[in-house]
Amino acid sequence: MTDPNAQTLLRVLHGEKLDIPPLWLMRQAGRYLPEYRALRTEKGGFLELVYDSPAAAEITLQPLRRFGFDGSILFSDILIVPYALGQDLWFEAGEGPRLAPPLCENDLAGLTLRREKLAPIYETVKLVKAELPQHTTFLGFAGSPWTVATYMVAGAGSKDHGLARRLAYGNPVRFGKIIHAIIDLTVEYLAGQVESGVEAIQLFDSWSGSLSPLEFDKWVIEPNRAIVEQLRVRCPGIPIIGFPKGAGGKLAAYAQGTGVDAIGLDETVDPHWANQVLPKGLPVQGNLDPLALIAGGEALKTATENIVSAFVDRPHIFNLGHGILPDTPIEHVEMLIKLVRKEDK
């Protein structure tokens, strides 16, 4: 039996159904907050903030001070793993991340592992942990292998992840070596986060929706299963949330095949359908459309109530279906919290 005094988010991750679902938001630490924008102006670019541990800790804590969420997620980036694997990483203004050399044209064996790139992230975790309210669950995270590989192969983001898909089809052995290198370092990285203080993990497979069913099994389900199994050995009892964005009809197969403790749903998933097809009792997280949050008003109220009602008989963590958008009004986040926590009744 779960301790009733334990953090609500952890209780749900361990399978308990609560009348009021715990709440946190993906990308809750970021550009929609004026305090974040002020700190970024002072400190410089995004990567500079990630590697400035006191600044990254401050950013992680900012939304907790303002909103009192039930979960806090580490301020970092999924591309820390390829950076530590030996690719150079930088962010182009208005264009996003860049990695060099791109592995569509270069061999993984030519990279030099740089574990020292992980140490400042662990320091951020320790700083946050020392300041975090006791009722707040601290989530660490990493990108899932397929999503990380799409950036490593192309050297940047892309619309259809065509270079990675071509390599996966055309040379699965070579692509598999990239995937396995990501798996190995991701397990080490996440174990380091846990040892430094995080209490749960989320695996972001942001681009899983671009794969065909057979490729999804090979490059999404199997690598995530490997990470889950290895983390269970290294970090017993740590809950793991899988977030396979775009998985759609493959969600049940993902849940069963990976063995995650909870599954995050993107905004395109009908929550009532998900409640029917997912394994009974499996905790779910999600799945408000970030644009409904921007809209506010009746649109936000209707969407929120629909999600909460869908999971009334299942362990549920309320969240967005993807990251909060930079132009989200603060007052709409405040309205969402009141709706979920039924503070207006």
pLDDT tens digits, 22-81: 999 999 999 999 999 999 999 888 999 999 999 999 999 999 999 999 999 999 999 999
Nearest to 138 by CA among 80, 61, 67: 61
Confidence of residue 345 (pLDDT cuts 50, 70, 90): low
Please list, in sequence order, all residues whose beta carbon lies within 8 angstroms of the beta carbon of residue 230, skipping any fewer than 6 positions away.
183, 187
Active-site residue identified among 27, 98, 165, 314: 27
Residue 343: the pLDDT is 86
**Cα–Cα distance for residue pair 25/276, rounded to 1 Å:** 24
**Cα–Cα distance for residue pair 285/70, rounded to 1 Å:** 13
Please check the confidence at residue 185 and state whether its pLDDT lies above 80: yes
Q: Furthest-apart CA pair in the chain: how many Å? A: 61
Structural contact between residues 167 and 151, judged by C-beta atoms closer than 8 angstroms: no
Active-site residue identified among 32, 122, 151, 189: 151
**Cα–Cα distance for residue pair 136/165, rounded to 1 Å:** 39
> Among this protein's residues, is 27 annotated catalytic?
yes
Residue 94: the pLDDT is 76
> Among this protein's residues, is 77 annotated catalytic?
yes
Tally the domains of the chain: 1
- Percent of the chain exceeding pLDDT 90 equals 94
Does the residue 330 lie in any domain?
no
Positive/negative CA dihedral, 150, 151, 152, 155: positive
Residue 1: the pLDDT is 42
Nearest to 22 by CA among 134, 135, 143, 103: 135
Tell me how many degrees the CA angle 137-60-301 measures, rounded to the nearest 5: 70
Using one digit for the tens of pLDDT, what is the confidence trace for 160-173?
999 999 999 999 99
Positive/negative CA dihedral, 334, 336, 338, 344: positive
The whole-chain average pLDDT of the chain stands at 95
Does the residue 302 lie in any domain?
no
Domain hosting residue 103, numbered range: 8-20+31-67+75-267
Tell me how many degrees the CA angle 227-220-149 measures, rounded to the nearest 5: 85
- Percent of the chain exceeding pLDDT 70 equals 98
> Among this protein's residues, is 31 annotated catalytic?
yes
Using one digit for the tens of pLDDT, what is the confidence trace for 294-321?
999 999 999 999 999 999 999 999 999 9
Please check the confidence at residue 128 and state whether its pLDDT lies above 90: yes
Residue 159: the pLDDT is 87
Q: What is the pTM assigned to this prediction? A: 0.96
More confident residue, 335 or 343: 335
CATH assignment at residue 244: 3.20.20.210
Q: What's phi and psi for 45, nearest 5 deg?
A: -75, 175
> Among this protein's residues, is 40 annotated catalytic?
yes
Please check the confidence at residue 19 and state whether its pLDDT lies above 50: yes
Positive/negative CA dihedral, 140, 94, 328, 161: negative
The identity of residue 111, as a single letter, is L
Does the residue 273 lie in any domain?
no
Neighbours of 149 (CB within 10 A): 26
The two tokens of residue 288 are 């408000």
Using one digit for the tens of pLDDT, what is the confidence trace for 239-259?
999 999 999 999 999 999 999
Active-site residue identified among 70, 77, 261, 289: 77
Mean pLDDT value of segment 222-227: 98
Residue 3: the pLDDT is 56
Please check the confidence at residue 4 and state whether its pLDDT lies above 60: no
CB neighbour class for 106 (10 Å; exposed up to 12, middle 13-18, buried from 19)? middle
Does the residue 94 lie in any domain?
yes
